[in-house]
Amino acid sequence: MPKPLSVTFQYGDDAQEIHDLLDRLFSGFLRNAPLPNPAQEQERKENAGLFKTIFPVNVFKDEYAIIYELCVTRDVYTSQWGALEEIIRENADIILNSPRIDTNFKSEYTDSDVFDTFIGFARGTVERIWNLPFNGTAGFVSDSKAWIELYAKKQMRFILNNHGAILNAPEPYIYKMNGRIRNLIGYDDAAEYHDYERNIIDTMRSESARSRVTVFNDEWLNIN
């Protein structure tokens, strides 16, 4: 029977380092109120626009994947937690079934318990981001580049592992590419998967090739 193919790498011993980097990156534009310094507030708005361009696809996971969609799709860059939580709860079923959300603890709880736990993680992350100092556009761009390079290295290893799995598996994997659910098995599908995923990385790494190519409810969400 076909089984879902994982979409991104798992954090390892460097999980805290990754969380710290992503917190800094998102703090470049996500706040619960406008910055009191007009010049910094203008930079923050410009960073929000840059974020959409630098990250044409959602290359985040867990609460950061949700924050990405809130910012890019809903244009929510300045908001109190209550408004953010309302949007998240409206999409509970989608989030619980998203391949970008890790719910390995799900078997221990009901779906309601899992979602409430996730809401707690998300709130803690958002509030942590709000409380970080604003590092301006230079800091935002530096953190963005750092994440792209870290993601590229880890995700490429992950892609190669998936490539081998598709190539050698006796049964197909389910995966969503270009808005279509696919059953992937064998050489041709493995090669297509590799090229598709590598193009996402290359697009981010190329200053000239960046464009917004996904929408809310697409690749990062439920593949069922």
Residue 11 C-alpha from the chain's centroid: 13
Establish if 218 belongs to a structural domain: no
Banded pLDDT at 12 (limits 50, 70, 90): confident
| Structure token digits, residue 139 | 């800091």
pLDDT single digits (tens) 154-204:
999 999 999 999 999 999 999 988 888 999 999 999 999 999 999 999 999
Q: Considering the domain boundaries, does residue 174 fall inside one?
A: yes
Residue 217 parent element (H or E): none
If we measure between CA atoms, which residue out of 10, 68, 5 comes closest to residue 194? 5
Residue 109 lies in a domain: yes
Question: In terms of residue numbers, what domain contains 38?
Answer: 3-205
Residue 213 pLDDT > 80: no
Q: Is residue 216 part of a domain?
A: no
Judge whether 46 lies within some domain: yes
Asked whether residue 221 carries a pLDDT value surpassing 80, the answer given is no
- In this prediction, residue 113 carries a pLDDT of 80
pLDDT band at 212 (very low <50, low <70, confident <90, very high): very low
**Cα angle value 84/90/94 (rounded, 5°):** 110
How far apart, in whole angstroms, are the C-alpha atoms of residue 221 and residue 116? 19
Query: According to the model, what pLDDT value does residue 127 have?
Result: 96
- Determine, yes or no, domain membership for 222: no
Q: What is the mean pLDDT of residues 104-131?
A: 80
The predicted-structure confidence for 68-113, as pLDDT tens digits, reads as follows 999 998 889 999 999 999 999 998 888 888 888 876 655 455 567 8
Count up the domains in the chain and report the number: 1
pLDDT the model gives residue 110: 57
Whether 213 is covered by a domain: the verdict is no
Amino acid type, 64:
Y
The b/e string for 98-135 (b: 16+ C-beta within 10 A; e otherwise) is bbbbbbeebeeeeeeebbeebbeebeebbeebbeeebb
Predicted local confidence at residue 91, as pLDDT: 87
Residue 214 has pLDDT above 70, yes or no: no
- pLDDT value at position 42? 96
| Residue 219 falls inside a structural domain | no
**Helix, strand, coil share (%) of the chain residues, nearest 5:** 60, 5, 35
**What is the pLDDT at residue 47?**
96
